Amino acid sequence: MQLPDFKNRLALPDRILLSVDKPARYIGGEVNAVYKDPERVNIRFVMCFPDVYEIGMSHLGIQILYEMFNRYEDVWCERVYSPWTDLDRIMREEKIPLFALESQDPVREFDFLGITLQYEMCYTNILQILDLAGIPLLSKDRGDDVPIVIGGGPCSYNPEPIAPFFDLFYVGEGETAYRQLLDLYKENRAAGGDRNSFLRRAAREVPGMYVPSLYEVTYHKDGTIASFLPKEPGVPEKVRKEIVMDLDSAPYPEKPVIAYTKAVQDRVVLEIQRGCIRGCRFCQAGQIYRPVREKRLETLKRTALAMLEGTGQEEISLNSLSSSDYSHLEELVDFLMETCREKKVNISLPSLRIDAFSLDVMGKVQDVKKSSLTFAPEAGSQRLRDVINKGLTEEAILQGAALAFAGGWSRVKLYFMLGLPTETEEDIRGIAELCNKIVALYYETVPKEKRNGPVQIVASTSFFIPKPFTPFQWAPMCTREEFLQKAGLTRHAVHEQLNQKRIKYNWHEADVSVLEGVFARGDRRVAQVILRAYQKGCLYDAWAETFRYDLWLAAFEECQIDIGFYTARERGKEEIFPWDFLDCGVNKAYLWREWERAQRAEVSPNCRQSCQGCGAARFGGGVCFEAKEGAAG
Amino acid sequence: MKVRIKFSKYGALRFIGHLDVMRFFQKALRRAGIDVAYTTGFSPHQIMTFASPLGMGLCSLGEYMDIEVCSWQSSEDMKRRLQAVCPAGIDILSVRALPDPVPNRKVISAMASVAAASYAVVWKEDGRSFDGCQELTQGFLAQEEIGALKETKQGTTKVNIRPGIYELRVEDGALVFLVDASSSGNIKPSLVTEAFLDFAGLSVPKDGLQYIRLEIYTDQGSPDQPRLVPLEEMGVLF
């Protein structure tokens, strides 16, 4: 009798795989995963998203870097994600070291462990990854027998709260400097150099590299930073972000790895551009990814076809910060609609401005009866929308909603923020009033016999968290109590509306927002709190079911770190921020000008209307060098 | 045309669930460029049904999926194209066309036509086998009643699984049996195995045995004279 192969070559025995939720998270072997002979590569790199598999597998950045690294013949790049709490417990009890998915080899044996930092609330998961891998949590305790730990991604634009856990941060877009870094690694190893000599040379020679251990921070009596300087000559005072100026020739995965178990993003993702022209003053992505760089239409058409073929996915989604601003959007969407109709692929179009064009497209690609329409006014009044430089006017919202209602939609989602700078009770009431007006508009525009069931408005508020490299980096953040009071006020205002029965109001947890606020603008001293909280059992803080605010508060108290210092305090013009040593392209003078304009509720035109001199033009490309509207030539 | 595809599942893919296998094939069929028929309506999906879902951790040499295709070349071509897009752990074993339904007769789906399934059970640990148990199989089958706890929606009930065990023997060190797998009388292979271990006075560590589904059968006989044939034989090469 010929029996199939059931020998377990995995890091986890059958007994464990059969006792945990979704064992497919830990077996690797997915379609399009890359396998190489470890004997025939020089560098083993493992890329980590410090959250559960289904979240991590949905992240585009890792797929891009995985593609790039594995195109290098001398490198094998693998993946690892946070084990879920069930497996976490077992691995600790049985002392099973964390392993990479492809080879199932221990992470500890790799040359590099790259961790992507997409949101602040994953910070304890970083410690979990290091801990389970058997890598000392603090960079200073590591020897040559463990991987170089590199951080990257948006949170590395203020890496200070997690600086002691990393050997190196790669600041900016990953496509440009890794080759140089890897060559340096090989060279250093061949010359008999150790970990420290590699890190020192990386900081000096490779652009975009920040080695926290090579910098010294001193503080004033009031706790603010007095100086932030390199400890030795040759190490740059300012680290400038890396950026890809030609996205058309940058590596992009035509065959991304496909999860067996359902990933959050179970579709082909087509990145159409990077950066955003809008300059909303609360938005970090809108600043740090400047300038806007578009991909050519031909590149996108070719990539879309190749990806659909290479994955067999049944849905394609456009990825960008503001798809409506892509110059060839109509042509791209026409092309996709045609291709997708043939191939029976669904199109999903997030981050589109609601107007006649987008409604027409959405009406064609989605089931109007099932889908809802999303607006992000962010603030309830025109005054406050001017403060945050959100170009959306009430007129535009109502116009869009009227068109949508006429087109058969009857469900509208609205996103707002509470706690924005200069916010008053009137602004908050504006949220409820806007919702009410939209309901009234439905009754006005849609005759009774044409109504698709009752109109439904869902208004959601999140709490505003000031982020580094935004004009609001100087702004005080609300306390937990202020947040809750504002949410209460919003709820009350919604209840006062004539059409309140048709409006549903949701608000976010305040506790998590407070912590996110500390980590967003924190300095190196915050790291001890993160370490302490982890030791107390904090993990998966981005998950409501595992978040333990009480443990976090205790950790802050034990470390004698004041939350209010990092959140509620208003910063002065001269203050040195923990992230000032980074150069993300936009300069502080521009951000300060924007902060002052915000306080006067003055809007600023977007990059295509008129240049605001943010500084990103120094990268020599993108929107900064397009012909301006109305300008000659 | 309706097409029946037989495939195996083994290795690390023992740990992907039934819904994951369905999702895998939806994408694999598209990658292979097979002209699958879709349902009509606003969100069309592939016309695809699976026979009996396989439990987590099991291997199989006899999994079945029925699809409908709009155009085709040959069984061989479809098998080759689908195999080319399968990872280690899934092999396409056969591709056959199902006959067009007779007018006025209900079409029987892969799922509904399942009557029985055969399994092999082996020790994962090297050097251990069921070889010594050959003699015991007669006695085991001679029992009139074999009690087992069956999980139902209401809770666990004690049932007699003996009538649903059609064959049981030891072959090449494996415990091999053929049991009822119909929707009304399905018997989980673990129930038979546990009853046999109990009968033989053997104990096995948790997850110490590997279950392998060998084949799924339909009944082409009459109520008095059943005739079990593998699902694949309902189709023909094209």
Predicted ipTM of the assembly: 0.93
Chain B residues in contact with A1 by the CB 8 A cut-off are 120, 171-172, 174, 176
Contacts of A285 (CB under 8 A, 6+ apart): A154, A276, A321
| Residue A366 pLDDT > 80 | no
- Residue B125 contacts A, CB cutoff 8 Å: no
Question: Closest by alpha carbon to A69, among A96, A24, A100?
Answer: A100
Arithmetic mean of pLDDT over chain A: 94
Cβ of B56 within 8 Å of Cβ of A18? The answer is: yes
What's the distance, Cα to Cα, between the start and end of chain A in Å? 79
Query: What's the pLDDT at B6?
Result: 97
Percent of chain A past pLDDT 90, that is, above it, reads 86
Where in A165-292 does DSSP place strands (E)? 168-170, 209-210, 215-219, 225-230, 239-240, 268-271, 273-274
A291 cis-preceded (ω within 30 degrees of 0): yes
| Residue A342 pLDDT > 90 | no
Query: What's the pLDDT at A368?
Result: 66
Comparing A88-102, A530-544, B104-118, B194-208, the range with the smallest average pLDDT is: B104-118
Chain B residues in contact with A341 by the CB 8 A cut-off are none
Query: What's the pLDDT at B110?
Result: 66
Alpha-carbon distance of A247 to A236, in angstroms, equals: 27
Query: What's the pLDDT at B104?
Result: 64
Query: What's the pLDDT at A633?
Result: 37
- Is the separation of the CB atoms in A422 and A378 below 8 Å? no
Maximum distance among all Cα pairs of chain B, rounded to whole angstroms: 60
Residue type, A612: Q
Residue entry with tokens 């652009």: A207
Q: What pLDDT, in 10s, does the model give residues A263-315?
A: 888 999 999 999 999 999 999 999 999 999 999 999 999 999 999 999 999 99
Q: What pLDDT, in 10s, does the model give residues A598-617?
A: 999 999 999 999 999 999 99
Alpha-carbon distance of A330 to B144, in angstroms, equals: 74
Q: What pLDDT, in 10s, does the model give residues A195-254?
A: 999 999 999 999 999 999 999 999 999 999 999 999 999 999 999 999 999 999 999 999
In a structure prediction context, what are the per-residue pLDDT tens digits for chain B, which is 238 residues long? 999 999 999 999 999 999 999 999 999 999 999 999 999 877 788 999 998 889 999 999 999 999 999 999 999 999 999 999 999 999 999 999 998 776 666 666 667 789 999 999 999 988 889 998 989 999 999 999 999 888 777 888 888 999 999 999 999 999 999 999 998 888 999 999 999 999 999 888 888 999 999 999 999 888 888 899 999 998 899 9
Cβ of B210 within 8 Å of Cβ of A343? The answer is: no
- Is the separation of the CB atoms in A135 and A107 below 8 Å? yes
Alpha-carbon distance of A69 to A66, in angstroms, equals: 5
For chain B, where do the domains classified as CATH 3.30.70.100 start and end? 116-224
| Residue A107 pLDDT > 70 | yes
The nearest CA of chain B is from the CA of A100 a distance in Å of 15
- Is the separation of the CB atoms in A288 and A154 below 8 Å? yes
CB-CB: which of A18, A261, A367 is closest to B43? A367
Question: Closest by alpha carbon to A555, among A585, A527, A514?
Answer: A527
Alpha-carbon distance of A275 to A322, in angstroms, equals: 9
Residue type, A529: V
The answer for B 130-189 residues in CB contact with A (under 8 A) is 171-172, 174, 176
Alpha-carbon distance of B182 to B80, in angstroms, equals: 31
CB-CB: which of A6, A23, A29 is closest to B88? A29
| Residue A632 pLDDT > 60 | no
Torsion of CA A311, A313, A315, A316, to 10 degrees: 0
List % helix, strand, coil for chain B (3-state, nearest 5).
Answer: 25, 35, 40
- Is the separation of the CB atoms in A608 and A623 below 8 Å? yes
**Averaged pLDDT for residues A158-174:** 98
- Residue B31 contacts A, CB cutoff 8 Å: yes
- Structural domain boundaries in chain A: 14-240
In this structure, the number of other CB atoms found within 10 A of the CB of residue A456 comes to 15
Nearest CA in chain B to A266: B23
CB-CB: which of A9, A14, A27 is closest to B207? A14
| Ramachandran sector of residue B127 (left: φ over 0; alpha: ψ -120 to 50; beta: rest) | left
Alpha-carbon distance of A431 to A435, in angstroms, equals: 6
In a mutational test of the A interface, the residue from B19, B20, B31, B39 whose CB has the highest number of chain A CBs within 10 Å is B31
Chain B residues in contact with A10 by the CB 8 A cut-off are 12
Chain B residues in contact with A3 by the CB 8 A cut-off are 59, 61, 120, 122, 174, 212
The nearest CA of chain B is from the CA of A66 a distance in Å of 19
For domain A14-240, give the CATH number: 3.40.50.280
Comparing A353-367, A457-471, A612-626, the range with the smallest average pLDDT is: A353-367
Tokens of B133: 């148990």
Residue entry with tokens 């060279």: A187
For chain B, where do the domains classified as CATH 3.30.70.580 start and end? 2-97
| Residue A446 pLDDT > 90 | no
Nearest CA in chain A to B38: A344
Question: Closest by alpha carbon to A172, among A65, A56, A79?
Answer: A65
Query: What's the pLDDT at B105?
Result: 62
Nearest CA in chain A to B25: A312
Cβ of B120 within 8 Å of Cβ of A3? The answer is: yes
Residues A568-588: b if buried by 16+ CB within 10 A, e if exposed: bbebeeeebbbbbbbbbbbee
Tokens of A161: 């709260």
* Chain A residues with CB within 8 Å of chain B CB: 1, 3-10, 14-15, 17-18, 22-24, 26-31, 258, 260-262, 266, 308-314, 343-344, 346, 367
Alpha-carbon distance of A599 to A281, in angstroms, equals: 11
Q: What pLDDT, in 10s, does the model give residues A112-123?
A: 999 999 999 999
Question: Closest by alpha carbon to A218, among A209, A231, A199?
Answer: A231
Alpha-carbon distance of A67 to A303, in angstroms, equals: 14
Query: What's the pLDDT at A263?
Result: 86
Q: Which fold has domain B116-224?
A: Alpha-Beta Plaits (3.30.70)
CATH architecture of B2-97: 2-Layer Sandwich (3.30)
Q: What pLDDT, in 10s, does the model give residues A30-78?
A: 999 999 999 999 999 999 999 999 999 999 999 999 999 999 999 999 9
DSSP letter (8 states) at residue A292: P
Residue entry with tokens 């929606």: B153
pTM: 0.94
Alpha-carbon distance of B62 to A48, in angstroms, equals: 37
